Amino acid sequence: MYWFAVLANFDASGPAVFARATIQAFEKHEEDPVRKCFFSITRDEMNHEECCQRTIAKLWPGGPLDWTPVTDLEKAAHNNIGWLYHNGGRYWTGYSSAVGKYSLPVLFTSFMMGEMAASTLFRGMSSGTRHPVFSEMFQRIGRDESRHLQICMTILENEWPGLTDDVRSLITRQLRAGFVFLSMILWEPPEGFWELPPYFLDNHRVLMDHAREAGLGVLSYEEQAENWRVAMARIRAIVERWGIEFPAIPELDIEGVHVDFLDPEEIIPVF
Ligand SMILES: [Fe+2]
Ligand SMILES: [Fe+2]
């Protein structure tokens, strides 16, 4: 339940994020396929959110938050989920005010990073899980995410040739923002965007170990780091073709341009 509650922090924002982007595409008179791609991603994300919701309801009635914890482990889970959703709210506030400010290549590079992260995550989990229902769920969600990734790539191939240096450096910052935001589900939260109490991470590790031992397919800390590194290398290869510098990710020993302070309104990526 805890793992799905963490996932829901990302997947449950998907429908609203892409619905808002769909409206934005209409308002800016984007061409028809762009509008419809956004719409189809919105629909897929609704299904992903539904997967989280139904799994949580089945495993832990009242979850993620409408239940009273009794044991220490339950209290830790309940409290951590509360903190996650506090940050989910901050992400949404930032995203709503940012979406109108950014041009299509900036938005789509951020989405592309989210889709790369999501397809990587679900591919890893579908091969790791020992439960047939979760295996099929992760495979199907992973397939959707790969399709979203391809949609983003197709749109970016059209948008990137007109890039200016200003936009390029904005994208570099966005890639760092994507790492900071998405690491919560792919790996562990780095310093930056996340507002969390000091005990969060210790409790998170214990809870994730439970999910791992239950056969959900949660990769080990090192496997997660390696997966994330590989996904990042793919993104790097794509963006560098267009003269976009990659940010430094010291957490994963990835060299690049130093990106300092990120404020919440710079966080765009989503699953
Ligand atoms: Fe997606
Ligand atoms: Fe998704």
- Summary mean pLDDT of the chain: 93
Task: Name the residues around ion ligand 2, CB cutoff 5 A.
Answer: 11, 14, 45, 48, 271
- Give me the half-sphere count of Cα atoms (radius 13 Å) on the Cβ side of residue 254: 24
**Model pLDDT, residue 265:** 67
User: Are 184 and 6 in contact, with CB atoms under 8 Å apart?
Assistant: yes
Distance between Cα 40 and ligand 2 center (Å): 12
- Supply angle C-alpha 93, 81, 87, rounded to 5: 20
**Model pLDDT, residue 230:** 94
Distance between Cα 253 and ligand 1 center (Å): 27
Tokens found for residue 216: 């959900």
Ligand with the closest atom to the CA of 269: 1
Distance between Cα 120 and ligand 1 center (Å): 11
Q: What is the pLDDT of residues 108-135, one digit of tens each?
A: 888 999 999 999 999 999 999 999 999 9
Distance between Cα 144 and ligand 1 center (Å): 7
Average pLDDT over residues 130-148: 96
pLDDT at position 162 over 90 = no
**Model pLDDT, residue 94:** 83
Ligand with the closest atom to the CA of 41: 1
Q: What is the pLDDT of residues 188-235, one digit of tens each?
A: 999 888 999 999 999 999 999 999 999 999 999 999 999 999 999 999
Distance between Cα 70 and ligand 2 center (Å): 32
- Tell me the β-bridge partners of 254: 249
**Model pLDDT, residue 233:** 96
Distance between Cα 64 and ligand 2 center (Å): 18
